[in-house]
Structure 1
């Protein structure tokens, strides 16, 4: 293709030919491709040409708008020249294997050739899970070289079980230390510090694996976690270990210690120190929630595949303006999407905790979250939880379709105070205290006009009342009919008795073991008030002391603390605590571990590139290295019989009017002379431009008169050039 425009000029026809041949030979339609690894050099003309050609080919094949992620590894590692295509191929193969759509860094505004409303392509600025079955993951990789040597390869993922992990290096690592008492755990911390101080080529995750092995062995002896650390570097680990050995604790720094009076949390019975799972409901959802966990632990993606119809809304591409961000938030706030999307991430989070030995003695959910709690307790299969989630949302929206959907408002008052104002205002029949969230937080719900009056009356009574942006009047008599429709959907699903107690919003008591009673309770809950305060009090009375918020945000953690006040308890949000993503998750595990929960951390290292420094054999340092075309010893010196780097020498350059033996140059000699002359002019021009830009004097080479335009030929008598030095003879 370079014959048309030049060696480096992109030619759409050549790129199109490479694309169409590749997809024809692969027997794949571009419309089925989910990821494109573009050549993407970042040049204005090159990127515009490549994006326009890809858009044309994919659109003609019937690709839907926003159906394919596009990016380039060059944004992360730069242009590797002749290895650029190989780098893109490696990246794409790993993306297919792990089920991840990789990010393209530094994208603030896409190329002008991209039309966000119609283009088949979207951009990701952070890694996102690829929510399709492995056999359905298809990607294309482009590599365009000098002269129009255009290549495109089509790849499909191999249909196999997902890997345990997709990342070897994590932003932080978790360290847990067990013992019969606090001093025994401190001795373990000192032992790791001594191992760390021996030095070596070991990484943070290697020391974490060593600690996990010893901790899990101690768990088999019945020892509890007394100290837990979350470190982000070897230096940070050493400092935390020193502080831990001295008996300190500093949760903000990632240093957690158990209270010696804390009793171990167990999986059954009602004793002090029980672990309770809490599942947040509608209102906690947001685009991208818990994405980093789905990326780091590919096994969780089976839940995304069960809920594939909501995955694109759950993990949308990058938005480049406020309007785009607002649109993404609005789509996931829609009741029809928010409830099943929450179900996907909460089921996955509970499964991840269970794989690490974290299982609750009891559970509850707020509003919609109650359905997920029953699913985690085994009353419903994961697929049925998502099916029921969609049916629940549909029943609610159908109930208010074509009429007044109603609204809700948050009031800073007790439920009794709110109900008294409603009663004296004659509004008690229309407006109800729908969510009794905390002693000083009550949410009212009802038809729009009576709600406006209720808010005014409550403010007149001296209470703060804030209208909420909601789809309808949840948990009010307006939705009473939705329960009947939801009951019909539940009738066709298999329901079992819960494996552990799941506490009901409606009754503030555990669900009965009878499957029919479970169905009836779920249906009735839609139109009944959420008695969250009474529910938490009842769970506390039943022995719950550790409340883990299994889902996005930390709304329920704050409410629990507001309900229980100064009474002994611990709230542990998986997301939104000490950081988000992996950092937040590992910090939550640390808190659970020192709260008496039997966290087993060995699973965190299965399938990761991590070794135990105590037993592993250190790799021998390489005796020599290859640096480009040069071979060097480990100390950086070059063997005497090896090629040495070029060094400057003074050598005559062919003059501008060079002629052999006085005759005019012709044929090959003339071509060589012309090449040398034009190369000399190019280097001189670049030198002058750089010196001028840097403010230095512009040197005028010998033979070049002052004021002569750069476009005119230059004559040099000599120049400094780099020439290789022959290796020394033996």
Structure 2
């Protein structure tokens, strides 16, 4: 390829008078020479399109050029007025992309260079070439047996989110086949620690399982770990049991379903053929005339061959052992899999040793006891001569041992163990391995097994844990004598397992036709305090592809890497289809707003007002009053942003009344005698406001004046004056008795109260101009009791913490919402629907707080007759959930306001809700 065969270059584009000419001249010299007249080198820079991307500039350029190749258009560089005069553009055929240019197909693929400069002028330059067209893939049969769908995530919540997203995608795309979905999941997704595998034969099964996973429900076709085992770098261990896992038909299904298994069984059969006169394949398939597995010289070679072949199956799916452990004759399989013995030597050991065991038939017995080694020894000692020849043949775990010896004595030990209430059973053998009876065939074994030559070392990276020594050994020692000792001495399985745990291994895969060592292994895990897991391979009467897939899934969710591609058709390969991307569990770490307590007011000569809005208070030095101060915005107090009336974010009158109550508490007043709204407090779209609640000196009668002011916060409007939103009088201190203040004790709702329909209430209120957000939607029930309206109101969680408020303004505001139903009760009409008009609390009289921080309240609204000037008034009684008084308001007057008035307030005009005749404006703070 010559330089003239590159169509375009995505320049780094330094944007400097030094860098740009250097880059352009280099491109002119490299790509701009000897080009056809109609094919100049087109020059662009992604920085003109998206801005400076720092270290990602080169990657962004690659993305841009790949997309340009796909669409056949070179995008224009933006903001290019004219080429720099510091470059001799006539020295080569290089042109700036001042407008989009078609990039047509030709006899060769499209090519583009991408430059990215680094520190000190270093330059990384790559050339991209258009990918060749690929023929449309042949369709894969939809049904290929059990199919795995593999999902993973960084958390349990995200894993359920992945399943939910996949379920949604499947619902909208019924054309997606199980094979294509499964293939896409393993081909295009990263693997994380929280894992699940969904398996099924058809789309309906798989979808149902995915939906269960998304819902956090158990399902037989889903394998996942509730709490994944900590992944260890030590790798998985293959565990090979001794005799006892056999069952008729074991391995037969895999001979047909797994080519790897069938091929390894065939190799084992050839290796056994010099020593046996029966067919391994016939035994596995249960063919007519096949050798009986009741014979020890048949069952042991067959189990050996199956275990060796199952290890090959695991390896074929990418699961290769880091270590092996073999129990009794299982060590022969372990030695072959680790590479310590050749397949031929392994076949020789298992075949000739089991044939020698036939000579011991009828002379011994073995039994499994559910007790530890020490307890087993005490049991045998207690039996005296009755069990003198019985010994502990194997220690499988802290509460799992095997004994062997003469049949009568072993039976007596089993009976004694059962009498003690412990688990005990005879094993179906008629000889006594791992005990003195083996001495009878010792010379024969040494003679028959002569010539066993172990390899110097095991396969690279595979550790051999010996159950003869109880720890890791050099596999060069597994010679003829070792295999005689293996049959004669005690099986120290628990010790070998503890050694593997100490070396960091955490996943133990029992490579057999049925798990028989699981209990002992789990007991050892608990005894050592190590968190580890066992994984079975096949199970009795479950030896097909589905069980194998489940075993792979169990290993996978335990942290083992599995090659899932081996379970999908190789030719034709499945398609990659579009699936949902990662289900990110977004969690905000930004504070929703400051609580008004960000600093210590004492540092500013103030005292804390212990209030979520009014953060500080100060007593004036001349004794003529107090000031409570704070800052307010929809960002710092998010719940306020949800109080939208006539399209304005309006601080509710309930908030101003609550601030006045807090001021009354600060100065020791009895409550709020009256508070009149002057100008609604509308929050600006951005920024916030500073607040002052000013309390005057007490008069001769103990009453105090109170005003509520605001002005824009910070530099938003530095010349703005303080604005008075409300003024009133705080009542003098008084000894209050609250025993009968609420009158809402007893049965709730009272007998005779008629329930009113509240469904859709907030939707109707929004249509009338009251767009209350979740923080203000606290109405839970409404009843009519004569002329009164009763309600049950709660403080929604969205309103945030209630601590520090006398009564949360969102709760008090919601307590007034049933007033919108009074028109319906008295006139038969719905809420007031005069276009552009809403009703606002205008004047509060006789406000007394009896108890603070209530979250669930009973409310009674008692309407007064409407005044001549159109005002409405209510008596408000608020009690807690058992009827104890919380707040009483002798009268709250409601006055209509227009949307234009609220907009005028929002734009800082002087429109007031108070008629000129009401009185003088508030004094300056």
Query: How far did residue 332 of structure 1 move?
Result: 0.9
Q: 1:538 to 1:199 in 2, by over 3 A?
A: same
8 Å Cα contact 1:546/1:572 also seen in 2:
yes
Secondary structure, in 3 states, of the residue corresponding to 2:392? strand
- Structure 2: how far apart are the matches of 1:528 and 1:604? 42
- Among 175, 180, 189, the alignment partner of 2:149 is 175
Shift of 1:432: 0.5
Say yes or no: does 1:256 pair with 2:247.
Answer: no
Deviations 1:78-120 (A, max 9, x none): xxxxxxxxxxxxxxxxxxxxxxxxxxxxxxxxxxxxxxxxxxx
Whole-angstrom distance in 2 between the partners of 1:576 and 1:235: 26
Pick the aligned partner of 1:583 from 540, 543, 546: 546
> In 2, distance between residues paired with 1:525 and 1:385?
14
| Aligned residues of 1:458 and 1:464 also touching (Cα < 8 A) | yes
Three-state SS of the structure 2 residue aligned to 1:543 is coil
Query: TM-score, normalised to structure 1's length?
Result: 0.53
Matched residue SS, 2:366? strand
* Corresponding residue SS for 2:403: strand
Residues 336 and 517 of structure 1: is their aligned pair in 2 closer, same or farther, counting only changes over 3 Å?
A: closer
Q: Is the 8 A contact 1:436 1:443 kept in 2?
A: yes
Check whether the contact 1:395–1:483 (CA below 8 A) recurs between aligned residues.
no
Separation (CA, whole Å) in 2 of partners of 1:310 and 1:202? 43
Contact 1:551 1:574 in 2 (8 A): yes
Identify the residue that residue 199 of structure 1 maps to in structure 2: 173
SS at match of 2:283: helix
Q: Does 1:241 align with 2:203?
A: no
User: Which residue number in structure 2 is paired with residue 612 of structure 1?
Assistant: 575
Q: Does 1:498 align with 2:465?
A: no
Instruction: Choose from 522, 536, 546 the match for 1:573.
Output: 536
Query: Within 2, Cα distance between the matches of 1:253 and 1:383?
Result: 40
Deviations 1:254-284 (A, max 9, x none): 1414636x43344xx4xxxx42211122111
Q: How has the CA–CA distance of structure 1 residues 354 and 563 changed in structure 2, closer, same or farther, with 3 Å as cutoff?
A: same
Partner of 1:366: 327
- Partner of 2:286 in structure 1? 316
- Structure 1 unaligned blocks of 5 or more: 1-166, 319-326, 617-730
The separation in 1 between residues aligned to 2:262 and 2:286, in whole angstroms, is: 16
Cα gap change, 1:227 to 1:486, in 2 (>3 Å): same
Deviations along 1:527-558, whole A, 9 cap, x unmatched?
11122233323322222222211111121123
Deviation at 1:347, TM superposition (A): 1.2
Matched with 1:350 is 311
Between the aligned partners of 1:457 and 1:196, the Cα distance in structure 2 is 60
Match of 1:213 in 2: 187
- The count of residues paired between Structure 1 and Structure 2 equals 424
2:247 equivalent among 286, 293, 309: 286
| Match runs of 1:588-607 below 5 Å | 588-607=551-570
The structural deviation recorded for 1:289 is: 0.7
CA distance in structure 2 between the partners assigned to 1:280 and 1:169 by the alignment: 36
Stretches of structure 2 lacking an aligned partner (at least 5 in a row): 1-140, 270-278, 580-925
1:98 matched residue in structure 2:
none
Q: Say whether 1:305 aligns with 2:266.
A: yes
Structure with higher RCO (Cα < 8 A, 6+ apart)? 1
Pairs within 5 Å for 1:672-687: none
CA distance in structure 1 between the partners assigned to 2:545 and 2:511 by the alignment: 14
1:379 CA displacement? 1.0
Report the secondary structure of 2:477's partner residue.
helix
- Whether the aligned pair in 2 keeps the contact of 1:228 and 1:255 (CA below 8 Å) is yes
Equivalent in 434, 438, 442 of residue 397 of structure 2: 438
Assess, with a 3 A threshold, how the Cα gap between structure 1 residues 452 and 195 changes in structure 2: closer, same or farther: closer
Show the counterpart of 1:405. 363
Aligned alpha-carbon RMSD (Å): 3.3
The offset of 1:225, in angstroms, is: 6.2
Answer with 251-260 or 438-447: which moved more: 251-260
Residue 374 of structure 2: aligned partner: 416
d(CA) in 2 for partners of 1:366, 1:225: 32
Distance 1:560 1:302 in 2: 31
Distance 1:356 1:276, change over 3 A: same
Separation in structure 2 between the aligned mates of residue 168 and residue 387 of structure 1, nearest angstrom = 45
Q: Give the whole-Å Cα distance in 2 for the aligned partners of 1:339 and 1:233.
A: 39
Greater share of residues in helix: 1
Please say which structure displays the higher CA radius of gyration.
2
Aligned twin of 1:448? 407
Question: Normalising by structure 2, what TM-score?
Answer: 0.42
Distance 2:502 2:180 in 1: 43
